[in-house]
Amino acid sequence: MAEGYLTTHVLDTALGVPAAGLTIELFRLAAGSRDLVVRMVTNDDGRTDAPILPKADFATGTYELVFHAGAYLDRTGVPAESPRFLNEIPIRFGISDPGAHYHVPLLLSPFGFSTYRGS
């Protein structure tokens, strides 16, 4: 069994607060398919209550996290555009070490975002 796991943390840099209530989906990409693994929602700290990909389900491969930023921005009162500049933010990444903790945070504002491999 793998010992690694996957987590995230979403911070709203425009408001200076964790992004609570933001929906996140994780997909596994393989052989031309894109399969939904899990859908979660961030808590009051901008994190999920459990790892997105816990040790029991952790495997090497290519994944995509999709952050549903548009719905979150709508709820926080950011004036809506049609279409919104940032709606769904996909981040594709690879997991190569089955024993590592992969942390993929998102720093979000209405007109920009950044991410990195955290710890």
Provide the whole-model pTM.
0.95
Tokens in use for 95? Answer: 């997991």
Report pLDDT for 1.
58
pLDDT surpasses 90 at 119: no
pLDDT tens readout for residues 13-63: 999 999 999 999 999 999 999 999 999 999 999 999 999 999 999 999 999
Q: Check: CB of residue 79 under 8 Å from CB of residue 40.
A: no
Domains in the chain, CATH or no CATH each: 5-115 (2.60.40.180)
Tokens in use for 9? Answer: 């943390």
